[in-house]
Amino acid sequence: MFSPKPAGESSSLRSGGRVKRELRMPLPSPTNGHTIDARGITIRFGTFTAVHQVDLTVSPGEVFGLLGPNGSGKTTLIRGLCGLIPFAEGSATVLGRDVTGEAERVRSQIGYMSQKFSLYEDLTAQENMDFYAGIYGLSPSRTRARKEELINLTGLGPYLHRRGGRLSGGWKQRLALVCALLHSPRLIFLDEPTAGIDPVARRDLWNLLFRLSAEGITLVVTTHYMDEAERCARVGYIYLGHLLAVGTPQELKQLPGVTPPGTRRLAILTTDMAGLLGRLRQRPGVRQATIFGQAVYAVVDADRSLAELGLEGMEVHPAEPTLEDVFVGLSRAQGDADGTGSRRPPIT
């Protein structure tokens, strides 16, 4: 399901420069069992608005992915939901508590793995865990039990006496995850947890996240990796502070702005991909063209024949949009709508 949008407020999804309303759903009752229920939150730094009127709900046990280019407001939104930055407008409940009025209580029930390595490099893995257990005020017996549980979950056992700074990227992230989980939070925010770690460590970390989700823990994860976005139950795409769309990966691919009406997507197999790409970009009727793997992918006007597109005699297949296509399409539409086109990320 798409994330419900409060009635009366326009959906923030835009496509082709016009506000679309496909994502609007009935108004949920307050909180409505949601782990996160944010309504119209705006966050400013002085006169700069980093997060614009974001509406967002996340359900218990959900793995929710937050994507968007650097500087789009992902970290700011998370910090806002953790009660670390005040909202200029709007309100949010997290785990049923008002983030503004009960910030301390909210923070005691959530885990936050920040974008930067948040552990002490000179302390061993074990000492880092004990330090965080102390901050959370866990009793010695609770600390022992919880540490054992989390060490078993993450496989950190062999590294307990290694200093934080000497762990590899993947093990550092597991240690950070353990520290963020010591107080048994029901919701955890993970800000780019897999940035800069190798593919095996990345997969291991995601397997861990799914185990946590299976236990009913809600996860909000920011990432730049499309394969990670595909793993999420739902994904939100934030661009220059605007949450442009929220839905399952499959729902996002069906959005009308992604493959505009009157166009179709093609995959063209050729040995001369660079040459074909250059020719396609000159052709009338070709809206976009890019290379991916062993094929050239193009969005073309549906009424153009293969001959008109210069593709006659080539191996051409219909293609499905990827999540990358979704985000490129949404960013382009938003850039056109608010005149920030020059700030948008490179588009093929």
Ligand X SMILES: Nc1ncnc2c1ncn2[C@@H]1O[C@H](COP(=O)(O)OP(=O)(O)O)[C@@H](O)[C@H]1O
Residues in touch with ligand X (CB under 6 A): 45, 48, 50, 68, 70-76
Name the burial class of residue 344, with classes exposed (0-12), middle (13-18) and buried (19+) by CB atoms within 10 angstroms of its CB. Answer: middle
When the beta carbons of 43 and 150 are compared against ligand X, the nearer one is: 43
Q: How far is the CB of 10 from ligand X (least distance, A)?
A: 23
Q: Which residues pair with 64 in a beta bridge?
A: 220, 234
Nearest to 41 by CA among 82, 69, 2, 71: 82
- Give the DSSP H/E element, type plus range, for residue 218: strand 218-222
- Nearer to ligand X by Cβ, of 132 and 189: the residue is 189
Report, in Å, the least distance between residue 78 CB and Mg ion: 8
> Where in 36-75 is the site for Mg ion (CB under 5 A)?
74-75
Count of residues that interact with Mg ion, criterion CB under 5 A: 3
Query: Tokens 């995601």 sit at which residue?
Result: 206
Residue closer to ligand X (CB basis): 73 or 193: 73
To the nearest whole angstrom, how small is the minimum distance from the Cβ of residue 55 to ligand X?
18
Q: Which residue is nearest to Mg ion (CB)?
A: 75
Q: How far apart are CA 312 and CA 287, in angstroms?
A: 18
Q: 288, 298 in Cβ contact below 8 A?
A: yes
Q: How far is the CB of 12 from ligand X (least distance, A)?
A: 16
Q: Given the complex with Mg ion, which of 72 and 288 has the nearer CB atom?
A: 72
Whether 23 contacts 247, CB under 8 Å = yes
For residues 195 and 267, which CB has a smaller minimum distance to Mg ion in the complex?
195
β-strand partners of 234: 64
Q: By CB under 5 A, what part of segment 103-132 binds Mg ion?
A: 115
- Helices first, then strands: H and E counts in the chain: 10, 16
Q: Which is nearer to ligand X, 128 or 194 (CB)?
A: 194
Q: Which two structure tokens, joined as six digits, stand for 70?
A: 């650097």
CA distance 289 to 306: 15
Q: Which one of Mg ion, ligand X, none is in contact with 219 (Cβ closer than 5 to 8 A by kind)?
A: none
346 contact choice in Mg ion, ligand X, none (CB below 5 to 8 Å, kind-dependent):
none
φ/ψ (deg, to 5) at 254: -90, -5
**What, of Mg ion, ligand X, none, does residue 72 touch, CB below 5 to 8 Å by kind?**
ligand X
Minimum distance between the CB of residue 340 and ligand X, rounded to whole angstroms?
12
Out of ligand X, Mg ion, none, what residue 76 binds, judged by CB under 5 to 8 A for its kind, is ligand X
Residues at the site binding Mg ion, with contacts judged by CB under 5 A: 74-75, 115
